Structure 1
């Protein structure tokens, strides 16, 4: 399933976080009210954009401005983007981080 590791507020993704979809795509960046919102990096795992990494601004889950990240920077970015796999969520206080997986 998909895995989110990041900050929550009012039971929604808010602040910084990493979302890894089951298909391998990864977004590492800012969230607001449960959506990609602010600065972030998006990496495609397959298809026409396979291994392409875009850095840019997102608003309400849509890319606003982005640029491709040069190949020489991708190794460093991949290290930062790749999240750890977890089996279950644990409850936390508002403003703290938590990791959750769903199917």
Structure 2
């Protein structure tokens, strides 16, 4: 077992205790799929918490912003693609590395 796991702490927030119901909550999918919420947000698609294709691709490429990927990100932004980058510093899942 890896050191960060099995220590009683939540892997997404090391300040919280590990508990199956602590993260992520289950309600966002149902909430974001309500027609009124989608309309208010201007989102024509159903909410998806995880995309298997995106996860596999990310795992195959490694860190998204390394190896010239910033230029690709810039192109997408110039084309009007909306991008959200979410990261944290209190978790073991997405540990920032300097290598």
TM range (shorter): under 0.3
TM-score normalized with structure 1 length: 0.22
Higher helix share: 2
Whichever of the two has the greater Rg, that structure is 2
TM-score normalized with structure 2 length: 0.23
Q: Report 1 or 2 for greater relative contact order, CA contacts < 8 Å, sequence distance ≥ 6.
A: 2
